[in-house]
Copies of this chain bind each other. A is one copy, B any other.
Amino acid sequence: MKHLRKELWFNTPHRRDYINITPDVEKAVAESGVREGLCLVNAMHITASVYINDAESGLIADYDDWLEKLAPFNPGSDPAKSGYRHNRSGEDNADAHLKRQIMGRQVVIAITDGQLDFGPWEQIYYAEFDGRRRKRALIKIIGE
């Protein structure tokens, strides 16, 4: 069994950002020498996601609006005023923990003939919901 581990580091300019990491994952698959196997990609932080969807800026803006509607940013510390209990602890990122559950922590991708085994429009994104600091994602590949 072959295996490879690699970290990708980010320091996004905004609180929320969406970064296409497909080329980085493709590069890791090539480096691994794995022809048949599985590739796990996950956020190593709990206020960020790794997901697979379209590289289309309109859709990304739709995701951002939709997530803000489902789990609004609200840095207030008073739950009686629709604040989050988590933000009582001095944090302001409760919404980011919620948004991350919608978009997911990880993706698992088949490797076939040494390539990511993708449908026509699949692209891998790192979604940051509490950025402007150094954070990372993990790539782990196993196979033969």
Contacts and interface: CB of A to CB of B under 8 A. Distances in A.
Contacts of A25: none
Nearest to A43: B119
A107 B107 contact: no
Contact of A98 (B40, B62, B110, B142): B62
Interface of A: 1, 3, 5, 36-38, 40, 42-46, 51-54, 56-59, 61-63, 66, 70-71, 84-89, 94, 97-98, 100-110, 112, 117-122, 136, 138, 140, 142-144
A58 B85 contact: yes
A118 B136 CA distance: 11
Nearest to A5: B112
B46 A98 contact: no
Contact of A142 (B36, B84, B88): B36
Given A140-B112, A142-B38, A142-B143, A84 B98 contact: no
